[in-house]
């Protein structure tokens, strides 16, 4: 199949492009490099040994997206493109609502206009709000704690309604937990612009000397070591989850958690990194951040049953690959 991957030069998008190309799909990347880097495209060709199409467009631009569909005639869309920094979304809510919702609407409109009936959406565990873990796809969604999470809730709703109104349209809503790691080649990985919002790039940049110290927010949560517990998943496991979702997509709405189904604390991830790399992580305790949940992890049984997909890589793999990418990209 020929698949348009919006945000295909980004962290999760680029790894999913690798999985698609290696599985024999044709890939059309649409990205404007707002939070990604052009050199990722060169790395993708080196990893996959295959060619793909690239269009530098903003997927909130309906005329540009229509032209892309008309030219490339895709069979499906995987939609990653979106702003994703929680704190920034609180400070700039209108920017997040405009970009994240409009990109979903524009791509869905082009799908309907050009008869493209397969749509895989990059959602998030933030849609569950403060539901108790393990989080299940059939839970009633509780209020999210930030505009970023709300854009995922609303985008999910938009796509559900599109599927309900168009009997041939199939959408898979993939609720990620905490993607970390990098491709084992060390050629692509997590490289956000500015100060990272996620834990792993903060760890790698601290150890590499690019940040002065790792800031750990809160050690008085109701968890065994006092730090937050999250469901960390290797980004290549996540990428393979998108491939499985695409391969099993049928008309209607399908919702899946993509995680490992178990939680690890901040300290556990730090210790795993030290074990995997032999490097010490210098950290400093700070006050809790507002809106952080103490524990979040997935029930992943539905993805295993319906998609025949489970995460295969562990914390050590995630840490080793993330550090290899850090060393390779800044050596």
CA 261-262-266 angle, to 5 degrees, is 135
Alpha helices by DSSP H, the chain: 11-22, 39-48, 62-72, 86-91, 93-113, 147-165, 199-207, 235-247, 266-277, 301-307, 315-329
Q: Tell me: the pLDDT tens digits for 182-193?
A: 999 999 999 887
Tokens linked to 207: 């150890």
| 148 a catalytic residue | yes
The answer as to whether 98 is a domain residue is yes
Tokens of 79: 């939609």
Confirm whether 239 is domain-assigned: yes
Q: Is residue 223 part of a domain?
A: no
What does residue 241 show for φ and ψ, rounded to 5 degrees? -65, -35
Q: Read out DSSP for 264-323? A: EEHHHHHHHHHHHH-----EEEEPPPTT--SB--B--HHHHHHH-------HHHHHHHHH
Domain membership of residue 266 (yes or no) is no
Q: Is residue 265 part of a domain?
A: no
Query: What pLDDT score does 331 carry?
Result: 66
* Cβ-based neighbour number of residue 24 at 10 Å: 8
Our count of domains for the chain comes to 1
Within a domain: 115: yes
Catalytic residue chosen out of the listed positions 148, 232, 256, 325:
148
110 falls within a domain = yes
Q: Determine the pLDDT at residue 197.
A: 80
Residues of the chain with pLDDT under 70: 331
* Of 30, 26, 24, residue with least CA distance to 5: 30
H/E segment holding residue 77 = strand 76-79
* Per-residue confidence (pLDDT) for residue 196, from 0 to 100: 80
Task: Provide the domain limits for residue 156.
Answer: 2-180+233-260
State residue 28's pLDDT score.
98
pLDDT, residue 12, reads 97
What Cα–Cα distance (Å) separates residue 29 from each residue in 56, 172, 245?
8, 19, 19
Would you say residue 323 lies in a domain? no
- The CATH number assigned to the domain holding 174 equals 3.40.50.720
pLDDT for 93-135, tens place per residue? 999 999 999 999 999 999 999 999 999 999 999 999 999 999 9
Backbone angles phi, psi at 266, to 5 degrees: -55, -45
């Amino acid at each position: 199949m020929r698949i348009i991957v919006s945000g295909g030069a980004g962290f999760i998008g680029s790894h999913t492009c690798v999985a698609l190309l290696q599985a024999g799909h044709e890939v059309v990347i649409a990205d404007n490099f707002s939070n990604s880097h052009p050199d990722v495209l060169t790395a993708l060709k080196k990893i996959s040994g295959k060619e793909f199409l690239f269009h530098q467009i903003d997927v909130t631009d309906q005329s540009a997206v229509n032209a892309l569909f008309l030219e490339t005639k895709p069979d499906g869309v995987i939609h990653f493109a979106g702003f994703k920094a929680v704190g920034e979304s609180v400070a700039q809510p209108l920017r997040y609502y405009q970009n994240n919702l409009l990109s979903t609407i524009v791509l869905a409109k082009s799908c309907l206009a050009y008869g493209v009936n397969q749509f895989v959406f990059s959602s998030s565990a933030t849609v569950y709000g403060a539901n108790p873990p393990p989080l299940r796809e059939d839970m009633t969604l509780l209020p999210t704690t930030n505009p970023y999470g709300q854009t995922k809730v609303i985008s999910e709703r938009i796509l559900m309604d599109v599927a309900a109104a168009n009997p041939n349209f199939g959408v898979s809503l993939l609720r990620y937990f905490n993607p970390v790691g990098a491709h084992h080649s060390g050629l692509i990985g997590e490289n956000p612009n500015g100060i990272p919002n996620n834990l792993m790039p903060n760890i790698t940049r601290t150890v590499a000397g690019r940040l002065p110290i790792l800031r750990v927010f809160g050690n008085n949560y109701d968890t065994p070591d006092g730090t937050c517990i999250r469901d960390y998943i290797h980004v290549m496991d996540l990428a393979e989850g998108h491939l499985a979702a695409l391969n099993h997509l049928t008309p209607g709405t399908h919702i899946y958690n993509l995680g490992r189904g178990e939680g690890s604390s901040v300290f556990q991830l730090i210790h795993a990194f030290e074990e995997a790399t032999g490097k010490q992580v210098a950290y400093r305790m700070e006050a809790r951040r507002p809106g952080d949940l103490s524990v979040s992890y997935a029930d992943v049984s539905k993805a295993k049953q319906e998609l025949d997909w489970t995460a295969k890589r562990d914390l050590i793999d995630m840490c080793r690959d993330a550090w290899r990418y850090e060393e390779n990209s800044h050596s």
